[in-house]
Structure 1
Amino acid sequence: MAKAEPKITLSSSRDIPFDKLVLSQANVRRVRAGISIEELAEDIARRSLLQGLTVRPQLDDNGNETGMYEVPAGGRRYRALQLLVKQKRMAKTALVPCVIRDADAATLAEEDSLAENVQRAPLHPLDQFRAFQTLREKGLSEEEIAATFFIGVNVVRQRLRLAAVSEKLLEAYADDCMELEQLMAFTVSTDHARQENVWAAIEDSHNDTPYHIRRMLTEQTVRASDKRARFVGLAAYETAGGFVLRDLFEADDGGWLQDAALLDRLVADKLKAEAETVAAEGWKWIEVAVDFPYGHTRALRELDSIEKEMIAKEKKTLKALNTEQAKLEAEYQDAEEVPDEVDRRLDEIQEAIEALEERPLTFDPDEVKRAGTFISVSSDGRLRVERGFVRPEDEEPESIENGENGEYSSGDDGDPTSTHSIQRTVITLGGKPTEADEEEEEDGIKPLPERLVTELTVSRTLALRDAVAANPHVAMTVLLHKLVRDTFRHGTAISCLDASVHEVHFPAQPDGLNDSPSAKAVEERQVGWKRDLPDDDDALWDWLNALDEASRLALLAHCVSYGVNALYERGDRYGGSAISPHGVRQRIAEADRLAHALGLDMAEVGWRPTVANYFGRITKARILESVREAKGEQAVQLIDHLKKPDMAKEAERLLADTDWLPEPLRGLDLDAGGDGEATDDAGALPAFLSDDEEDPNEPDTQSTVLAAE
């Protein structure tokens, strides 16, 4: 008959005075980890001891019990209790709950210590998130929870944000279908339905990175770093009822503004209010927009102005600001990190210095009556006010005959003291019209829409102008080339240079042209030369005649550059006054030759394909072809199943770090053969010029701003 297995007998437990306990050398924990002994002591003082100590009787040399007990398991709790006794917050004879192991137990004391730590199962992170949420629901503040568990308040907020994600996503995380980093990415949105839709779209795809999740969840929002948000200010936006969503796990540049329509309304209201203030200065007209197209003041005469001198008080303030700035910069020049309050103060000082140094301008009051002002938002979110521009039609002031003596007086009702009434500004913040719904495409790749080609060649023309102005040798060559052809019976040939020289204005412009490196370089060069030129025509001749050769060449190159015209436009097939299709092809070929001579690379000057300037304007077939050229067939397979808006965004991301360019920006490879002259054979031209049909689905994306009449 088999003997029955002996029943398990658990070790007994009882309360032992603390002064009868000593720390055992069998405790295996040697490395400090987790919360400190001080923090553990505070926790025991607050909620008492939650887990007893495991002890063994201490034996003398003869194997007899001494009445003392060693603590092999629970050493950190023992030290915390010891600290409380030392601080006289607990009596040294206080009873401590203990589990007593036999001195001759079959297992070693080291085993007890190791087992207690190794076999302890930590909470699943999700259980911790939900526990924090429960504490919050029961009335504890974020600060109280942080103090209780000795962690930062931001950590508590992060865990509460994770617990607030859609329950469906939390279940996926609990089932190991989602990684913690992915769950963290979903916290940038509080919309559970949106979270679930995004997860459904990516859970079985290759593109399920946290970055992609954040991007999909914030695509309808506006970054706090956007110039419109900086112009209005987050405080004003939130006061108006707007919500700013912050990412507690990643740097987010201030977060995302969820209500773009509210932001645009606030921008418009603030611009209108600023316009009313400027209108009180007596200007005839004011145009207001978030942004103006490049060269919007070119056709207007700019009034002469005088900078208002600083008064003594302003000079004293400026000196004090410069001194404080230098002191702070010297104090923290070797610091690894500047404190937030110091960083904010340095920003405030810099803004105050710029405000003082940017002196107000004074104008002739009579000129102000027929001039106007442009009001917009600069790229850094500040108000930009461009005063003192006269339209051609306003050059001659209106006059009426007054009285029998034939005298004339300006103004209303014959009153020489009256001024033109202040005109109210009509504001149109020109958003682009919604693109037509995506249609099924025929097989093959359609030609690029003509308007898109025009916009692309605008960017190239501006880059060519900058490059020509910086290369006097090429500028002289292209000018002589044009003049020689005109002189020696080639006057009918079309060139990419209007050698008159008059500026070629752009009929269509891509977004962000004002902030492109080429535009800034051209504008800076224009302002520099204009500042040096004499006003009087005779003085101008003498000034030019006295210039050194290098300056003459640099000025020539700058002037020649303004005549560069590398624009694509629809040719007139019926012999009208406009350029013919053959002429357009000749112009593009000439522009290719010029770009080749200059070594112009549009990728090097900063042009990158985006949804706004390219991918959102072409067909899916062309998007895939672009990705195939730049990244290969494997990249195409990652996005070929997407809808067009998503495909365009992914194409922008994939090609962001490449030097890929669309055909209109590449030019022709003149080294491959030929002299660069255009021909009438359309088949030899780039694909983007091989079809003259307009794309009927291409929207007119030109923004308009209506000024007061």
Structure 2
Amino acid sequence: MATAKQKITLNASRDIPFNKLMLSQANVRRIKNGQSIEDLAASIARRGLLQSLNVRPVLDGERNETGMFEVPAGGRRYRALELLVKQKRMAKTETVPCVVSDANSVVPIEEDSLAENFQREDLHPLDMFRAFQTLHDQGASHEDIAARFFVSATFVQQRLRLAKVSPKLLEIYEQDGMKLDQLMAFTVTDDHARQEQVWETLQNSWSREPYQIRRMLTETTVRASDRRALFVGVDAYVAAGGIVLRDLFEADNGGWLQDPALLDRLVGEKLRASADEIAAEGWKWIVVDMDLPYGHAQGLRPLTGSFVDLNDEERASREALRNEYDEIEAQYGEADELPDEVDQRLGEIEQALEQLENRPKIYDPADIERAGVFVSINRDGDLVVDRGYVRPEDEEPDSGDGDVAQPEGEIDGRETDGELAPRRTTITVGAQPSEPDEGDDGDAIKPLPERLVIDLTAHRTLALRNAVASNPRVAMTALLHRLVLDTFGQRSSIGCLEASVRHVYFTAQDTDLKDSSDAKAVADRQEAWKTDIPFGDDEALWTWLDALDEASRLALLAHCVSFGINAHYERINPYGSGVSQQGLEQRLREADRLARVTGLDMVDAGWRPTVANYLGRVTKSRILEAVREGAGERAAQLIDHLKKGEMAKEAERLLADSGWLPEPLRLTGDEPPVVQQDEDDGDVAALPAFLAGEEDPHRRGHPSFHP
């Protein structure tokens, strides 16, 4: 017969006057930890006692109850109530809810104290966040919540910041799938899709540190300490609609600017505004670039100029500052360390003296007319203006026997009528002269901007890699070509076999390059091989390769060779490091050869001219040239009156299915087909009325107008 289980009897609860309670010496808590007694007393005064005290009757020598009760568990609550009594905020006879244990229990009294403290579990941070969020939704401010729970407002902000994290990641954290510091790292952005993408990337990685999460979430942003941000100012960026990501859990040096394109636009506008102000001084040219290349002034003649003299007041100020500096140095010359206020004053004096010494230069007006200025930004985000450089072609010609006579009424080819006609300063932004959107009605076709050529050839390089990887025969020929040159070209080698493929990376690339069909095809092929190849054991790899069938060996060879393909245009470096003009020309010739033998067509590869990748980055003349070549003269005439932005959008529509390619994406020597169209050809879609220059039908109340 089964023995019935003994039923559990719970301890009874009673309300006991406070003056009948005493703190037990068996309480195991000895060290102060967590919330202070004062804060706990304030909490009890606000909310009442939320948790009963655990007490046992006090027995006399004959084991009889004395009417007093000792508190082995709940000592901090007892002390908080004691403090309220001392503050006369509570009567000493006020009853306290208590759970009374049996005085003759076999369980030691110390065990009661240990069990209550040992089995207590802190509130889960996610539960705390949700509770704070509920209070915040009910109208409580960060400060109100902080005051109620005796924590800092920053602590409340940090917990509420968890609302920025994807619910999917919160669920993973709740199920112990990630740590709190990892979860907090995701709060730097509100983009839930990006958060989930980063976690999916890292969850099976050996490196899932919070810094790695923050780095991936902010890799497309710009730090507030970046010189571009310092130059524009974070306040100006925010005023323009920019968003700043902040990390409340870590020092973030001002955060991250989420919109680099907006920041670059603001930098360009501010630099251009500065250049316009400098242009009023009469310089012939101004080069504006955030990063001026090394040796940018080589071959140019610097003007000497003369410094503006100090006036009497400035001389007196300089002398006084120098004397004060000398006195401080004499007084503290023997000191190991300067007091903070003295060190600060010395810095102020040095800055003031530097401003007095760095006087602006005065140049001869005739020199200004043939010279130019470099405008850039230094690492601290300060504007740097370097005036007075003359190009060789702008030097005054040496007449030998005397000056060459200018035609009457002209100076440098400009009509004077008694006064010198104003010269328009040529302002060059980056690598290409800046051109206004309006007024570009000339027929001259200027070279494509260098950065645009770099971006276009990056697309071509990626397409070539995909084409070579899909054609093992061409890949084998390319590899043999390289090996034959190495073998018979008297190049030295080291090691057993120095045939290698150097993976070529793109230092600069278009934003949509990674999303192109070629990029996806190359990445998919890479992942497919990676799952099959036995890495980590050289012998196993050799055995695996040796056992491959011929088709698989050729396919793998083609894939590996393709990563060495480089059809990228880059800036020529005349100083030895980097690519030479001859090397670049050879690279592009070989790229053309590979494109021909693989049958690569950039149109088939998916490239189409858009506002972002071409049409919005060239002049109006270039846009019209593209439409004329791709869609015909009639199509070009439809848009030639539009502003540049509207012209680029309409050109994208007209060229969508034309198969037109810009020069860097064509094979050398290939010309675009000439589109023949009759005057009455109806194949060209007419522009909307508001772009065609017709009367706005909306203003006439036209029923068919749909804005």
| Per-residue deviation, 1:275 | 0.9
8 Å CA contact 1:287–1:374 kept in 2: the answer is yes
Tell me the amino acid that sits aligned with residue 695 of structure 1.
Answer: A
CA distance in 2 between counterparts of 1:344 and 1:195 reads 45
CA contact (8 A) 2:373 2:389 kept: yes
Counterpart for residue 133 of structure 1 = 133
Q: In the alignment, does 2:591 pair up with 1:695?
A: yes
The equivalent of 1:433 in structure 2 is 455
1:251/1:15 CA distance change after superposition, 3 Å: same
- Counterpart contact for 2:39–2:150, Cα < 8 Å: yes
Matches within 5 A, 1:427-466: 427-428=429-430, 431=451, 433=455, 435-436=458-459, 437=462, 439-440=465-466, 441-442=468-469
- Report the 3-state secondary structure (helix = DSSP H, G, I; strand = E; otherwise coil) of the residue aligned with 2:61: coil
Gap change, CA 1:108 and 1:378, over 3 Å in 2: same
1:612 to 494, 498, 507: 507
Contact 1:284–1:420 (8 Å) recurs in 2: no
Q: Could you list the per-position Cα deviations for residues 359-406 of structure 1 after superposition, in whole angstroms to 9, with x for gaps in the alignment?
A: 322222321122111111123221111100112222228963338xxx
Aligned to 2:118: 118
The aligned runs of 1:160-199 (5 Å cut-off) are: 160-199=160-199
CA distance in 2, matches of 1:147, 1:323: 53
**One of 305, 313, 318 as aligned partner of 1:315:** 318
2:566 counterpart residue number: none
How does the TM-score come out when normalised to structure 1? 0.58
In structure 2, C-alpha distance between the alignment counterparts of 1:146 and 1:38, rounded to whole Å: 15
How much has 1:333 moved relative to structure 2? 6.0
1:275 aligned residue: 275
Q: Aligned residues, how many? A: 491
Aligned-residue offset at 1:223: 2.1
Instruction: Describe the shift of the 1:306–1:168 C-alpha distance in structure 2 as closer, same or farther (beyond 3 A).
Output: same
Residues 587-645 of structure 1: CA deviation (Å, up to 9, x unaligned): x99xx9xxxxxxxxxxxxxxxx986289x99x989xx9xxx9xxx965999xxx9xx9x
Question: Which residue number in structure 1 is paired with residue 386 of structure 2?
Answer: 386
Counterpart code for 1:127: D
Q: Tell me which amino acid in the other structure corresponds to 1:612.
A: T
Alignment of 1:226-375 (within 5 A): 226-311=226-311, 312-313=313-314, 315=318, 355-375=355-375
Q: In structure 1, what is the equivalent of residue 35 of structure 2? A: 35
Aligned to 1:210: 210
Matches within 5 A, 1:399-438: 400-402=406-408, 413-414=415-416, 418=420, 420-423=422-425, 425-428=427-430, 431=451, 433=455, 435-436=458-459, 437=462
The superposition leaves residues 47-101 of structure 1 with CA deviations (integer Å, 9 ceiling, x where unpaired) of: 2221121112222333333332211110111112222222333333332222222
Q: Return the alpha-carbon distance in structure 1 between the equivalents of residues 347 and 149 of structure 2.
A: 37
Q: Which amino acid aligns with 2:158?
A: Q
| In 2: Cα distance, 1:219 partner to 1:368 partner | 44
**Residue type at the aligned position of 1:425:** I
Which residue number in structure 1 is paired with residue 546 of structure 2?
none
1:159 aligns with 2:181: no
Name 2:551's counterpart in structure 1.
none
1:315 alignment partner AA: R
SS, match of residue 694 in structure 1 = helix
Render the CA deviation track for 1:333-371: whole Å, top value 9, x for unaligned: 699xx99xx999999998766555533222223211221
Closer, same or farther: CA 689–175 of 1 in aligned 2, 3 Å: farther
Range with bigger deviation, 130-139 or 235-244: 130-139
Over the residues paired in the alignment, what is the CA RMSD in angstroms?
5.1
Q: 1:289 to 1:159 in 2, by over 3 A?
A: same
Contact 1:447 1:690 in 2 (8 A): no
Rounded Cα–Cα distance in structure 2 between residues aligned with 1:71 and 1:219: 57
Distance 1:422 1:193 in 2: 50
Query: Does structure 2 conserve the Cα–Cα contact (< 8 Å) formed by 1:297 and 1:389?
Result: yes
Shift of 1:22: 1.4
2:93 aligned partner:
93
Q: Residue type of the partner of 2:204?
A: D
Task: Give the 3-state SS of the residue equivalent to 2:429 in structure 1.
Answer: coil
Residue 689 to residue 245, structure 1, CA distance change in 2 (3 Å): same
Query: Which region of structure 1 is more displaced relative to structure 2, 163-172 or 101-110?
Result: 101-110
After superposition, the C-alpha distances for 1:168-202 in whole angstroms (9 at most, x for unaligned) are: 11111222222333322222221011112222233
Amino acid at match of 2:259: D
Residue aligned with 2:427, SS: coil
After TM superposition, give the deviation of residue 27 of structure 1 in Å: 0.3
- Structure 1 residues 113 and 248, CA, compared in 2 at 3 Å: closer, same or farther? same
Q: Match for 1:400: what amino acid?
A: Q
Q: Which amino acid aligns with 2:455?
A: P
Given residue 85 of structure 1, which amino acid in structure 2 is its aligned partner? V
Name the structure 2 match of 1:23.
23
Instruction: Work out which structure has the larger RCO, using CA pairs closer than 8 Å and 6 or more positions apart in sequence.
Output: 1
Write out per-residue CA displacement over residues 92-143 of structure 1, whole angstroms, 9 at most, x where no aligned residue: 3332222222322232221111111112232222222222222222222222
Distance in 2 (CA, whole Å) between partners of 1:690 and 1:276 is 41
Moved more, 186-195 or 12-21: 12-21
SS in 2 for 1:433: helix
CA distance in 2 between counterparts of 1:246 and 1:414 reads 59
Aligned-partner Cα distance in 2 for 1:329–1:123: 58
Q: Counterpart of 2:120 in 1: which secondary structure? A: coil
Query: Kindly tell me: are residues 446 and 343 of structure 1, through their superposed partners in 2, closer, same or farther at Cα, counting changes over 3 Å?
Result: farther
Instruction: Write the distance in 1 (CA, Å) between the matches of 2:299 and 2:192.
Output: 53
Identity %: 51
The CA distance in 2 between the partners of 1:635 and 1:231, in whole Å, is 52
Letter in 1 for 2:34: G
- CA gap of 1:359–1:128, structure 2 versus 1, over 3 A, is same
Mark the CA change 1:390 to 1:57 in structure 2 (over 3 Å): closer, same or farther: same
* Matched letter for residue 227 of structure 2: K
Q: Which amino acid aligns with 1:433?
A: D
CA distance 1:691–1:141, shift in 2 (3 Å): closer
Matched position secondary structure for 2:591: coil
Distance 1:76 1:214 in 2: 40
Q: Shift of the alpha carbon at 1:258?
A: 0.9
SS of structure 2 residue aligned to 1:13: strand
Question: Structure 1: which amino acid aligns with 2:66?
Answer: T
Helix, strand or coil at the partner of 2:97: strand
Q: 2 CA distance for matches of 1:322 and 1:256? A: 40
Residue 55 of structure 1: SS of its match in structure 2?
Answer: strand
Show the counterpart of 1:490. none
8 Å CA contact 2:164, 2:189 repeated in 1: no
Q: State the SS of the aligned residue for 2:590.
A: coil
In the alignment, the residues of structure 1 paired with residue 168 and residue 332 of structure 2 have an alpha-carbon distance, to the nearest angstrom, of 51
CA displacement at 1:411 relative to structure 2: 8.8
1:127-167 Cα deviation digits (max 9, x unpaired): 22222222222222222222322333332222222232101
Change (3 A) 1:200 1:300: same
- Report the more deviating stretch, 313-322 or 212-221: 313-322
Cα distance, 1:332 vs structure 2: 13
CA 1:355 to 1:447, structure 2 compared with 1: closer, same or farther past 3 Å?
A: farther
Counterpart residue identity of residue 30, structure 1: R
TM-score for both structures, normalised by structure 2: 0.59
Q: Which stretches in structure 2 are left out of the alignment for 5+ residues?
A: 398-403, 432-449, 480-484, 494-503, 541-555, 564-575, 596-601, 603-612, 620-707
2:12·2:99 contact (CA, 8 Å) conserved in 1? yes
- What is the DSSP-based 3-state SS (H/G/I as helix, E as strand, rest coil) of the residue aligned with 1:156? helix
Partner of 1:549: none
1:242·1:262 contact (CA, 8 Å) conserved in 2?
yes
Partner in structure 1 of residue 147 of structure 2: 147
Q: Which amino acid aligns with 1:219?
A: E
